């Protein structure tokens, strides 16, 4: 499996009384992430499944990834919380993207690579992407790419 871990793009700050889950992407975040998508296209990335958190900023980031998708999108609450065996059981496909949040993406990356959730070793910038290959089990994947949003924008 090719597993792309994608941190949501830059979001607006929360307004007074606004729930965190309802924060949308900023205009800057949208424009910058469109550049990330162009970079991923240049790498000829095609996805057969796209999973994302139900938080608005992850939903909107997933929508921007649709040009890379040849399959379905799936909302999962497991990407709005720390990594779990339930998340790993839900992942199906050969070329899959997970759009989520920090610090959980870093923890997930470390867990899949090293078998331990020590995410500080893999910090994701907003709009950053990591590519892992292998079977989605703790300690069973290898890191193939870890791209900052700027690197991907420069490719596009």
Ranges of each domain in the chain: 2-155
Q: How far apart are CA 100 and CA 121, in angstroms?
A: 17
Specify whether the CB–CB gap between 62 and 50 falls below 8 A: yes
Share of the chain above pLDDT 70, in %: 99
Distance CA 74, CA 51 (A): 5
Q: How confident is the model at residue 18 (pLDDT cuts 50, 70, 90)?
A: confident
pLDDT in tens, 52-82: 999 999 999 999 999 999 999 999 999 999 9
Q: How confident is the model at residue 150 (pLDDT cuts 50, 70, 90)?
A: very high
Q: What is residue 120's predicted lDDT score, i.e. its pLDDT?
A: 81
Question: Which residue, 24, 43, 12, is CA-closest to 147?
Answer: 43
Cα distance between residue 134 and residue 117, in whole Å: 18
**How large is the average pLDDT for residues 38-42?**
98
Contact (CB, 8 A) for 58 and 32: no
- Roughly how many angstroms between the first and final C-alpha of the chain, as a whole number? 24
* Matching residue, tokens 């300690």: 139
pTM for the whole structure: 0.97
2: left (phi over 0), alpha (psi -120 to 50) or beta: beta
* 25 token code pair: 């992407």
In CATH, 2-155 is 2.30.30.40: no
pLDDT of residue 15 exceeding 90, the answer is no
């Amino acid at each position: 499996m090719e597993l792309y871990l994608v941190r949501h793009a830059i979001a607006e700050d929360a307004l007074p009384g606004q729930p965190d889950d309802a924060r949308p992407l900023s205009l800057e975040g949208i424009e910058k992430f469109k550049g990330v998508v162009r970079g991923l296209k240049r790498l000829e990335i095609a996805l057969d499944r796209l999973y994302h958190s139900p938080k608005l900023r992850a939903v909107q980031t997933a929508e921007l990834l649709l040009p890379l998708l040849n399959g379905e999108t799936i909302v999962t609450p497991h990407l709005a919380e720390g990594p779990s065996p339930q998340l790993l059981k839900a992942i199906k496909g050969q070329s899959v993207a997970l759009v989520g949040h920090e610090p959980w993406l870093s923890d997930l990356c470390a867990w899949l690579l090293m078998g331990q959730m020590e995410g500080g070793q893999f910090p994701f910038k907003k709009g950053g992407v990591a590519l892992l290959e292998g079977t989605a089990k703790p300690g069973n994947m290898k890191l193939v790419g870890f791209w900052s949003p700027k690197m991907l924008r420069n490719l596009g």
